[in-house]
Structure 1
Amino acid sequence: MEENGGESIHTSPGAISPVTPLPQSKESAKLDSFFDNLVRSKKREEISDQDRQQAFETFDSDQDGLLSVPEFVEMCRSLFRSAEGESYLRDAKEVTGIFALFDENKDGYVDTEEYDFCWNKWIVPICYPRSAFLVIDVQNDFISGPLAIVNCPAKHKGEDVVPVINKLLATVPWNHVVYTLDWHPADHVSFIDNVHMRDLHPSCKVTAKDVAVYDTVVFAGPPPTEQKLWPRHCVQNSWGSEIHEGVNIVEGATFIHKGNNPEVDSYSAFWDNNKLSETDLNQKLLERGITDVYCSGITYDICVAATAEDAVEMYRTVVVDDAGRGIVEEDIKKTQKYIRDRNGLVVHSSKVLDMVLGFDRNIVLGHAAAAKLRSLKSRSSATVK
């Protein structure tokens, strides 16, 4: 594991890296810097129809009132750039699928009406994201209690996330901050000392008297439920369930308590493990128009993983690598791959401010936004039929 000052404390980044630009003409430089100049000169609420029209005319190089594929590619080359002004677009083929999404009538061009949808639903949210920061389960029991992760295979120190999280809370203009807490009743299904309270399913490979911490059993239910057994932890209103005293609590934050149903565990801050009940986290984010979710906390490969895996189905999702600590290194790598495979990002905290400000616009998140629009359009078409 690399030190915190490195690019990634767990693995090398898997996101698309920017491409160093070649020498270019003044006109080409003007095109490339268009969205950089827009984001750095205007706030979201200052964007007008004139800006929308100017962007269209800037990239409509032949002035025919249509964006061709090459013109759309040039627009994307400008749209997806790092804070240092380097393009994330490596090949025109990376955005041809996105072009097809906005070419509604399939005539090979994006006309002004199609462009308006593209601008409002895709370009503006990419340039001006609304970002929520999730601080997941940074609780005493995971740091110095019975489930202190320093005693787990990866030997991570849970408290190491605190200064990283606090810096992000202090320096990044989040649209919303969420703290999540494991919040278990004393008779919770996940506690190994409660295993005798419920019947095991015939398919369970261990008996109640032989189980050990971290074993997985199958309870009879109904429904039959697979459950990993943990030491007693984060019992409601106990010291162990409290957020670590070093974590700064910001005004106006949302607090999500999960795992409070004694019969089912809940790793994700969105859903319980059986997807039977939902917290109000998604509703809170929707109410605030959140587009981007940044995940941090403990444990990287369990509750952070489950939350990020749910988030990536609904939001542009970023895992802040050095703001998370976990249990098993190999499982952390699996979490990262899962998120990256679904157009999410795993980044170092040093990248976050520029991303939230819209100065760093990674094409991976552009694909995520396009995929969500494609899904919405597909559902809308199905409803009409």
Structure 2
Amino acid sequence: MAGLVPDPATDILGIIDVQPTFMPGGELAVEGGDQVVPAINRLLGGPFAHAFATQDWHPAGHSSFASSHPGKKPFEVVQMPYGQQVLWPDHGIQGSPNAELHKDLAQARIELIVRKGFRREIDSYSAFFENDRRTTTGLHGWLQARGLRRLFLAGLATDYCVAYSAEDAARLGYQVFVIEDACRGIGLPAEGGTTIDLAKRNLAAAGVQFVTSAAFG
């Protein structure tokens, strides 16, 4: 797809969890995670007039941390009251330098920062809902109030927070695009390949479109 021209009346760039905690040297590093910053900055400096960002913002001892479950290791899966939960290394700790948005991210056009995962008892991947799939972040109402209907998502990680945000946005009636070269994924083993493969199949089935930044000319 080429020749996409974002309409400032209806379109917005969603920047998902571009935080050092998810980049090389961080607590939950995504391979090549730091490479999304220049790609996103090009989008912020060019075609997009509006942007929002999300930020993982966990209290110490969060229930999604393996360290909160004696005998468990990161990436094991446990049952929570709201369903299955992957256990993660401690990351995105409130107030820590690695939980901040990356210092090189051009933030002038970021109009809203959605902090998620701040409730100790529940994790939150999506920009729209926490993992119980009922508790909202308020983002949907904010977008509706501004008449924004087309979402372009970038950031970390393709197979978790980007994917959950994209799927929820499509379910809520938005037209959704994932900008692949402005994302990086974790890629845990999954049925039929990796969690990245699985996420892309699920998103395509939900009507989410995949583009690259070259589509904006």
User: Would you call these one fold, judging by a TM-score over 0.5?
Assistant: yes
Asked if the contact 2:44/2:109 (under 8 Å) is kept, the reply is no
Give the superposition deviation at 1:224. 5.8
CA distance in 2, matches of 1:348, 1:129: 22
RMSD of equivalent CA atoms? 2.1
| 1:187 maps to 2:61 | yes
CA displacement, residues 327-361 of structure 1 (integer Å, 9 cap, x when unaligned): 1172222222222222221001111x36xxxxxxx
Are residues 213 and 252 of structure 1, via their aligned partners in 2, closer, same or farther at CA, if it must alter by over 3 Å? closer
State the partner residue of 1:148: 29
State the partner residue of 2:165: 307
Q: Secondary structure at the match of 1:167?
A: helix
Give the superposition deviation at 1:127. 8.5
CA distance in 2, matches of 1:251, 1:178: 8
- State the one-letter code of the partner of 1:134: G
CA displacement, residues 28-67 of structure 1 (integer Å, 9 cap, x when unaligned): xxxxxxxxxxxxxxxxxxxxxxxxxxxxxxxxxxxxxxxx
CA distance in 2, matches of 1:341, 1:224: 24
Are residues 224 and 337 of structure 1, via their aligned partners in 2, closer, same or farther at CA, if it must alter by over 3 Å? closer
Asked if the contact 2:27/2:89 (under 8 Å) is kept, the reply is yes
Give the superposition deviation at 1:237. 0.8
Are residues 184 and 165 of structure 1, via their aligned partners in 2, closer, same or farther at CA, if it must alter by over 3 Å? same
Q: Secondary structure at the match of 2:148?
A: coil
CA displacement, residues 85-142 of structure 1 (integer Å, 9 cap, x when unaligned): xxxxxxxxxxxxxxxxxxxxxxxxxxxxxxxxxxxxxxxxx99861110000010110
Asked if the contact 2:52/2:112 (under 8 Å) is kept, the reply is yes
Give the superposition deviation at 1:280. 1.2
CA distance in 1, matches of 2:37, 2:82: 38
CA distance in 2, matches of 1:142, 1:254: 20
The TM-score, its normalising length taken from structure 1, stands at 0.51
CA distance in 1, matches of 2:182, 2:109: 21
Q: Which runs of 5+ in 1 are unaligned?
A: 1-16, 18-81, 85-125, 150-155, 196-207, 355-385
Are residues 168 and 224 of structure 1, via their aligned partners in 2, closer, same or farther at CA, if it must alter by over 3 Å? closer
State the partner residue of 2:135: 277
Are residues 232 and 312 of structure 1, via their aligned partners in 2, closer, same or farther at CA, if it must alter by over 3 Å? same
Asked if the contact 2:52/2:110 (under 8 Å) is kept, the reply is no
Give the superposition deviation at 1:275. 1.6
Displaced runs of 4 or more, over 4 A: 126-129
Q: Secondary structure at the match of 1:159?
A: helix
- State the one-letter code of the partner of 1:287: A
Q: RCO (CA 8 Å, sep 6+): is it higher in 1 or 2?
A: 2
CA distance in 2, matches of 1:307, 1:83: 24
Q: Which runs of 5+ in 2 are unaligned?
A: 188-192
| 1:247 maps to 2:105 | yes
State the partner residue of 2:39: 164
Please give the residue correspondences for 1:78-97 in structure 2 after superposition, counting only pairs within 5 Å: 83=3
CA distance in 2, matches of 1:276, 1:83: 37
CA distance in 2, matches of 1:342, 1:269: 17
CA displacement, residues 255-299 of structure 1 (integer Å, 9 cap, x when unaligned): 000001111100001000112310111111101101100110011
Alignment equivalent of 1:296, drawn from 139, 143, 154: 154
| 1:336 maps to 2:217 | no
Please give the residue correspondences for 1:162-241 in structure 2 after superposition, counting only pairs within 5 Å: 162-174=37-49, 176-195=50-69, 208-209=70-71, 211-219=72-80, 223=81, 225-241=83-99
Task: State the identity as a percent.
Answer: 34
Asked if the contact 2:117/2:130 (under 8 Å) is kept, the reply is yes
Give the superposition deviation at 1:251. 4.2
Give the number of equivalent residue pairs.
209
- State the one-letter code of the partner of 2:158: Y
Are residues 316 and 230 of structure 1, via their aligned partners in 2, closer, same or farther at CA, if it must alter by over 3 Å? same
Give the superposition deviation at 1:253. 1.1
Asked if the contact 1:177/1:250 (under 8 Å) is kept, the reply is no
CA distance in 1, matches of 2:175, 2:82: 34
